[in-house]
């Protein structure tokens, strides 16, 4: 097991799915006027939701409890959710490839299914997402693997280029939240 330093800053990115304006009862992530812990850091509170002209969310204004840092005496205060995050000033753009089964069913033993292989292809077998990660991921070598918290294990793809890495999901982690 290793360790690393991660810088905290005024602007952070969280996963879009980790915020909901009008969440269901068992949503333990960020919500307006709600609090969550940032993994390895502080507890934040969402004070205001800023929207674009089209009504989509532009960004969130949050306050931080500087006495709640993980590992400090003030960290004893409990909140339900913990989010992963990255400092917006010290991150790099990344591409993520998420894979689902290639075929829509697993009934490949039936002769009629073999003849109709194309109709069984899953159009959602590959999802490509753009996002951000820690700056240290720039130095990842092709084939090197990482666990991205709450998501799964990813491998740096051979298609990665200097200045832009591509990570392929190899094993996903179970997400207990069901919308």
Give the C-alpha separation, 149 to 79, whole Å: 18
Give the C-alpha separation, 36 to 46, whole Å: 9
pTM for this predicted structure? 0.81
Q: What is the pLDDT of residues 127-139, one digit of tens each?
A: 999 999 999 999 9
Q: What is the pLDDT of residues 155-170, one digit of tens each?
A: 999 999 888 899 999 9
The whole-chain average pLDDT of the chain stands at: 89
**What's the helix, strand, coil split of the chain in %, to 5?**
15, 40, 45
> Residues 65-70: what's their mean pLDDT?
92
- Sorted by where each begins, the domain ranges of the chain are 12-83, 89-172
Ramachandran bin of 77, using left for φ above 0, alpha for ψ from -120 to 50, beta for the remaining angles: beta
Which contacts of 75-80 are long-range, i.e. CB under 8 A and separated by 24 or more positions? 77/43, 79/35, 79/36, 79/37, 79/43, 80/28, 80/36
Are 12-83 and 89-172 in the same CATH fold? yes
Asked whether 5 and 41 are in contact (CB, 8 A), the reply is no
* Residue 72: band (very low, low, confident or very high) from pLDDT cuts 50, 70, 90: confident
Specify the CATH number of the domain 12-83: 2.40.240.10
Query: What's 89-172's CATH class?
Result: mainly beta
Asked whether 114 and 96 are in contact (CB, 8 A), the reply is no
Asked whether 135 and 151 are in contact (CB, 8 A), the reply is no
> Residues 79-85: what's their mean pLDDT?
94
Q: What is the pLDDT of residues 3-25, one digit of tens each?
A: 778 889 999 999 999 999 999 99
Nearest of 64, 104, 57 to residue 83 by alpha carbon = 64
* Residue 38: band (very low, low, confident or very high) from pLDDT cuts 50, 70, 90: very high
Give the C-alpha separation, 21 to 65, whole Å: 21
């Amino acid at each position: 097991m290793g360790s690393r330093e991660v810088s905290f800053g005024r602007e952070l990115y969280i996963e879009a799915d980790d915020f909901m304006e009008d969440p269901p009862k068992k949503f333990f992530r960020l919500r307006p006027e709600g609090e969550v812990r940032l993994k390895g850091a502080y507890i934040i509170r969402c004070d205001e939701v800023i929207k674009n002209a089209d009504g989509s969310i532009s960004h969130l204004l949050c306050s931080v409890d500087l006495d709640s840092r993980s590992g400090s005496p003030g960290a004893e205060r409990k909140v339900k959710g913990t989010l992963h995050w990255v400092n917006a000033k010290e991150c790099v753009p990344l591409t993520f490839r998420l894979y689902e089964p290639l075929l829509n069913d697993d009934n490949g033993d039936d002769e009629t299914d073999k003849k109709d292989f194309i109709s069984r292809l899953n159009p959602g077998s590959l999802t490509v997402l753009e996002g951000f990660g820690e700056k240290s991921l720039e130095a990842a070598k092709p084939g090197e693997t990482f666990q991205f918290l709450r998501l799964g294990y990813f491998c740096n793809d051979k298609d990665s280029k200097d200045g832009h890495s591509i990570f392929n999901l190899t094993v996903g982690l179970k997400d207990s939240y069901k919308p």
